[in-house]
Structure 1
């Protein structure tokens, strides 16, 4: 049975959890872009993945909890919580809504609207 795009979006996040940035890149078009609401603007997927690679040393584990998900033929919208444990054991939560747009079965754009919950809350 073919994987639907909702499952593909979740697989992308599972690859990020395991720091498989090559696997994420393979799920994307050559021109895939990423946008975050942090004011940094739009980036090519490869640039974003390179930034994430540099952060891996300071993170003990990542886990995305998908709260809910909606999808149609080429778009996925989901609410999620990223739980990250840093190298010093601090637990951080980032609540987000993430939008995936697909083209030909590959991720062509990701938009993430997120906010971090202060540690200890």
Structure 2
């Protein structure tokens, strides 16, 4: 089960890279929640996906580099770097640690501690 949930966590991010929000949603429970270290309240998964759709344009390219990943039953913790590129070139990167909690093989909770670093120039 550990390898399966690790793969699901990575697949969730690969679907975000591809802009497949419906695919992302399918990997989550009906009651999944998302929290970020931005000082705002947690969101439902549907609120979070709606926000992502609005933030990312068709000209935006995302690429996740997974640095490391740890798991125990029903939990995955990973460190990754998100590279963001738009039509003008590299926009920056997000260095992050992300926690996934699973219920019945589906994502039930996401917590992300992230730091955006603008591209030099």
TM-score, reference length from structure 1: 0.92
Q: Hey, what's the Cα distance between the residues in 2 that align with 1:53 and 1:115?
A: 20
Aligned to 1:34: 34
Aligned to 1:70: 70
Assess, with a 3 A threshold, how the Cα gap between structure 1 residues 59 and 109 changes in structure 2: closer, same or farther. Answer: farther
Q: Hey, what's the Cα distance between the residues in 1 that align with 2:33 and 2:87?
A: 29
Structure 1: gaps (5+ residues):
none
Instruction: Give the alignment's Cα RMSD to 1 decimal.
Output: 1.7
Structure 2: gaps (5+ residues):
none
Aligned to 1:13: 13
> What number of residue pairs does the alignment pair up?
120
SS at match of 1:30: strand
Contact 1:59–1:84, Cα closer than 8 Å, also in 2: no
Deviation at 1:120, TM superposition (A): 0.9
Contact 1:57–1:87, Cα closer than 8 Å, also in 2: no
Aligned to 1:4: 4
TM-score, reference length from structure 2: 0.92
Q: Please identify runs of 4+ aligned residues in structure 1 that moved more than 4 A.
A: none
Deviation at 1:59, TM superposition (A): 4.3
Contact 2:85–2:92, Cα closer than 8 Å, also in 1: yes
Aligned to 1:85: 85
Q: Hey, what's the Cα distance between the residues in 2 that align with 1:117 and 1:57?
A: 19
